[in-house]
Amino acid sequence: MPLSVQSESIGLTNGSDPFAAHGQTLHPNIRGGNVQAQTRCAKSIAYSGSLDMYPHHDLTPVIGREYMDLQVTDLLMGLDRDRQIRDLAVNISQRGVVFLRDQDISPTQMRELCESLSVLAGCPESSGLHIHPLTEEGSELGDQISVISSEKQKRGGGLTHQLSDTSRYASVGWHTDISFERVPSDYAMLKIHTLPPTGGDTLWASGCDVYDRLSPAMQVFLEGLTATHDAKFFLEESSRLGHPLRKGQRGSPLNYGDSLTATHPVIRTNPVTGWKSVYVNKGFTKRINGVTKDESDLLLNYLFNLVIQNHDLQVRWKWSKDALAIWDNRSQLHCATYDYIEARAGDRVAALGEAPYLDVNSKSRREALNQATTRF
């Protein structure tokens, strides 16, 4: 059992959907979640200072931190392993995304680090590493490594729909990883080992800061709503790529089958920071429930625009060979940039966290950090 993660689980609704008629609310302040996939964080986790010896700088006021002179493999093999990895998890959750250049970590070690970050930060016992529904059986690096490759992309992979004619806006790809799963990702990491001379940057955005830009009235309104996340386009993609969709358990007993659809609260609480964030994304969120389609379209477009048009809640990362990015998918979104023609490739691992829930008594990021918020 991790040192600072308490084993007591917070009370969640007795059902997968807090707003469904069959859902019995155990704690009135908690909406959403699932009793089979609850966080083990009884309260937010404090940073203990174990990474203070490593120089770092923040890339923007809101999001992004880069550590220098730190090999994450040293943490994996260090004497203070669990405390340092938990502190790294807290840093990732608070800063949204952490970057490290020139990493010697192997795909196998990436799996170990990602799983450790998730476990030490209190993920449910039922959550492991995700197996992407499009990952081929018997793939070279194992089920839990997604190979990110420009060659695969050319065959029509992922959210950019490069073989379709839906959009040519670069911002069409803003998403949160695998939010179509009932138990989506907490931490994920990507290491790029092959990259073009220029281009291929990745952007991340803070869903916490999106929440902070809403009026109190809109915050309260959205806290009462759920949204449907849907990745059915993977079914078509799986047949185009010529290998079957992974229908068995994908890292959690709750993630299986080919519905590729989940309902989550529109506003969720990150158990590690205790901060609220907006949890909808352009890639997978199709519908806000309980309102008309017109209202849903209006609200989703407004929330997507808050992500896309506010470059002061984004960070843009220029990759170098063997750079590593580790982010918290619960409260951040990200978007790739397809502005290159040369080969670009890397390895991604995603761990599963808790079934998303909202603790209505949790705070916004700016509120927790005592930063000024806009007055209304």
Residues noted as catalytic: 175, 177, 334, 348
Q: How far apart are CA 366 and CA 107, in angstroms?
A: 36
**Closer Cβ to Fe ion, 5 or 97, answer by number:** 97
Torsion angle, alpha carbons of 11, 31, 43, 53, to 10: 140
Binding track over 67-106 against Fe ion, x by CB under 5 A: ----------------------------------------
Contact 307, 88 (CB under 8 A): no
Q: Determine the Cα–Cα distance for residues 57 and 93; give it in Å rounded to an integer.
A: 16
Beta strands in 22-63 (DSSP E): 30-32, 56-58
User: Whole-angstrom Cα distance, residue 327 to residue 106?
Assistant: 18
Find the shortest distance in angstroms from Cβ 33 to Fe ion: 23
Binding mask 187-226 for Fe ion (x = CB under 5 A): ----------------------------------------
- Looking at the Cβ atoms of 124 and 283, the one nearer to Fe ion is 283
Residue closer to Fe ion (CB basis): 158 or 274? 158
Task: Count the site residues for Fe ion by CB under 5 A.
Answer: 1
Binding mask 153-192 for Fe ion (x = CB under 5 A): ------------------------x---------------
Please state the closest distance from residue 376 (CB atom) to Fe ion, in A: 34
Closest distance of CB 179 from Fe ion, Å: 10
Is residue 334 within 8 Å of residue 194, measured between CB atoms? Answer: no
What residues form DSSP beta bridges with 162?
none
CB 87 within 8 A of CB 130: no
Q: 51 vs 205, which CB is nearer to Fe ion?
A: 205
The pair of structure tokens assigned to 249 is 């358990």
Token pair in block for residue 264: 């989550």
Choose between 6 and 153: whose C-beta lies nearer to Fe ion: 153
- Cα separation, 46 vs 150, whole angstroms: 39
Other Cβ atoms less than 10 A from the Cβ of 46: the count is: 9
| CB 207 within 8 Å of CB 279 | yes
- Minimal CB distance to Fe ion: which residue? 177
The answer to whether residues 175 and 161 touch, using CB atoms and an 8 Å cutoff, is: no
How many CB atoms lie under 10 A from the CB of residue 124? 25
Closer residue to Fe ion (CB): 173 or 274: 173
Minimum CB–partner distance for residue 327 and Fe ion (Å):
9
Least distance to Fe ion, CB of residue 21, Å: 34
Closest distance between Fe ion and the C-beta of residue 334, in Å? 6
d(CA 306, CA 117): 29
What kind and span of H or E run contains 326?
strand 323-328
Site string for Fe ion, 105-144 (x = CB under 5 A): ----------------------------------------
| Contact positions vs Fe ion (CB under 5 A) | 177
